[in-house]
């Protein structure tokens, strides 16, 4: 039996939702990961220090029920047109580590997203001054869906990096070779998160044969060349690239319907899928850096001091995970994976 022991990973991009869904999805993240950066696009959104504090409390109640004391949620606020430098200062004082910018209308719950980037310059200035990370949903609204990320990465990203050279910027869930090249070419305060599912999927897995709603997410999976470039970046050992699962659960009836929501619920299989990809690339020794070192270092956090075991044994992923009255389909539902992530108990 092959076993790979690695430092406990962190997830620098997760959607935990609220209420019943939060309680149902938290185990998949909190039992495996040491920390997770919790996205603020809830309904209502997390906009202020007070919102972040009460959201953190709700998450901590569920952590306590799970007995997952090792797990620490890292909180974010959503940057909107009403965000001010004062909002940033108050949020930072309350322990918020990042502000997330969604351009208007590009993804789930982004109707209140940003239209006028320039109006937020004083906010970015304040984030730079108080060392809050800027997380970007890097897609340009109004552009053809396959080109949205490339457009954003070639225009907005270098511009922001140039205007705010000390601001740490993360291009979230990178999906294109063009965006990877841009991130690589910019200074070392610019990084990108990589999701497990974008290392496997291309557009063919979404619409190439039958429509597969559980593979539909933003940014949409791209070409085989883009996917191969993502894999190469993930195994490259370049500290600019680290894990952010973008695990984004939606109830079954909101995925399997005429107007389905974007998001892949990948937390239950994140480490297992990564182990498969890294094994195929003969790069297993490099997995730990992607999942457990580069992100923590970028965010200025100590490395976790506990470990997990990736064991090479069959893991039958359920078709659905029952959450209260609803069901959630995990990524790779009803397939058998070759790896299982186990927690070290001693
Ligand atoms: C995310 C969600 O459902 O909240 N959806 C997605 O397709 N990734 C939002 C996001 O990160 O874009
Ligand atoms: Zn996301």
161-216: per-residue pLDDT in tens? 999 999 999 999 999 999 999 999 999 999 999 999 999 999 999 999 999 999 99
Using one digit for the tens of pLDDT, what is the confidence trace for 311-325?
Answer: 999 999 999 999 999
pLDDT for the residue numbered 126: 98
Given the CA of residue 261, which atom of ligand 1 is nearest to it? Answer: 3
Ligand 1 probe mutation, 11, 12, 14, 15, most atoms within 8 A of CB: 15
CB of 108 sitting under 6 A from ligand 1: yes
In testing the pocket of ligand 1, which one of 110, 170, 218 has its CB within 8 Å of the most ligand atoms?
A: 218
**To test the ligand 1 pocket, which listed residue (217, 222, 259, 331) has its Cβ within 8 A of the most ligand atoms?**
217
Mean pLDDT of 253-279: 98
Distance 288 CA to ligand 2 centre (A): 22
Query: Exactly one of 11, 69, 246, 253 is catalytic; which is it?
Result: 246
pLDDT at 240 over 70: yes
State mean pLDDT over 18-44.
98
Percent of the chain with pLDDT over 70: 99
pLDDT at 278 (0 to 100)? 98
Q: Ligand 1 in contact with 247 (CB < 6 A)?
A: no
The per-residue pLDDT of the chain, averaged, comes to 97
Q: Which residues contact 270 (CB under 8 A, 6 or more apart)?
A: 11, 32, 196, 243, 245, 247
For residue 214 and ligand 1, the question of a CB distance below 6 A is answered with no
Answer yes or no: is the C-beta of 217 below 6 A from any ligand 1 atom.
yes
Give me the percent of the chain exceeding a pLDDT of 90.
Answer: 99
The yes-or-no answer on residue 228 being catalytic is no
For ligand 1, atom 5, which residue shows the shortest CA distance?
263
The owner of tokens 């997390």 is 46
Answer whether residue 346 shows pLDDT above 70.
Answer: no
Helix (H, G, I), strand (E, B) or coil at 230: helix
Q: Read out DSSP for 61-107?
A: HHHHHHT-TT-EEEEEEEE-TT--HHHHHHHHHTT--EEEE-BTTSS
Output the CA torsion sign for 168, 171, 173, 177: negative
If you measure from the C-alpha of residue 248 to the centroid of ligand 1, how many angstroms do you get, rounded to a whole number?
Answer: 6
76 lines ligand 1 (CB under 6 A): no
What local confidence, expressed as pLDDT, does residue 308 receive?
Answer: 98
pLDDT of residue 345: 73
Which two structure tokens, joined as six digits, stand for 185? 């070419």
Here the tokens at position 340 are: 């299982």
Measured from the CB, is residue 21 less than 6 Å from ligand 1?
no
pLDDT at 70: 97
Q: Is the pLDDT of residue 220 over 70?
A: yes
Q: Which two tokens stand for residue 293?
A: 């070192």
CB of 240 sitting under 6 A from ligand 1 = no
Q: How far is the centre of ligand 1, averaged over its atoms, from the C-alpha of 34 (Å)?
A: 22
Q: Distance of alpha carbon 196 from its chain centroid, rounded?
A: 10
DSSP for 146-196 reads: GGHHHHHHHTHHHHHHHH-TTS-EEE-S---HHHHHHHHHS-TTEEEEE-S
Tell whether the model's pLDDT for residue 56 goes beyond 70: yes
């Amino acid at each position: 039996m092959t076993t790979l022991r690695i430092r406990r990973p962190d997830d620098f991009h997760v959607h935990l939702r609220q209420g019943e869904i939060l309680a149902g999805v938290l185990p998949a993240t909190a039992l495996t990961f040491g920390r997770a950066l919790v996205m603020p696009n809830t309904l209502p959104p997390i906009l202020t220090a007070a919102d972040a504090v009460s959201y953190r409390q709700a998450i901590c109640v569920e952590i306590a029920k799970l007995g997952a004391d090792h797990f620490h949620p890292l909180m974010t606020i959503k940057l909107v047109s009403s965000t001010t430098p004062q909002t940033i200062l108050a949020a930072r004082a309350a322990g918020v580590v990042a502000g997330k910018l969604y351009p208007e209308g590009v993804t789930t719950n982004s109707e209140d997203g940003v239209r006028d980037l320039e109006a937020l310059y004083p906010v970015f200035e304040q984030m730079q001054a108080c060392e809050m990370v800027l997380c970007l949903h890097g897609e340009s609204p109004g552009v053809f869906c396959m080109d949205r990320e490339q457009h954003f990465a070639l225009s907005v990203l270098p511009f922001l990096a140039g205007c705010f050279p000390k601001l740490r910027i993360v291009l979230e869930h990178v999906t294109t070779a063009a965006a990877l090249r841009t991130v690589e070419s910019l200074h070392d305060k610019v990084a990108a998160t990589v999701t497990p599912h974008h290392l496997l999927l291309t557009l063919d897995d979404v619409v190439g044969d039958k429509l597969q709603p559980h593979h539909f997410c933003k940014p949409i999976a791209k070409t085989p060349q883009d996917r191969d470039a993502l894999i190469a970046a993930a195994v490259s050992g370049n500290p600019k690239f680290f894990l952010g699962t973008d695990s984004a659960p939606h109830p079954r009836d909101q995925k399997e319907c005429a107007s389905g929501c974007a998001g892949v619920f990948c937390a239950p299989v994140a480490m297992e899928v990564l182990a498969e990809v890294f094994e195929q690339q003969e790069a297993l020794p490099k997995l730990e850096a992607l999942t457990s070192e580069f992100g923590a270092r970028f965010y200025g956090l100590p490395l976790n001091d506990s470990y997990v075991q990736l064991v090479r044994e069959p893991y039958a992923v359920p078709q659905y995970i029952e959450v209260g009255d609803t069901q959630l389909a995990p990524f790779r539902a009803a397939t058998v994976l070759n790896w299982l992530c186990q927690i070290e108990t001693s």
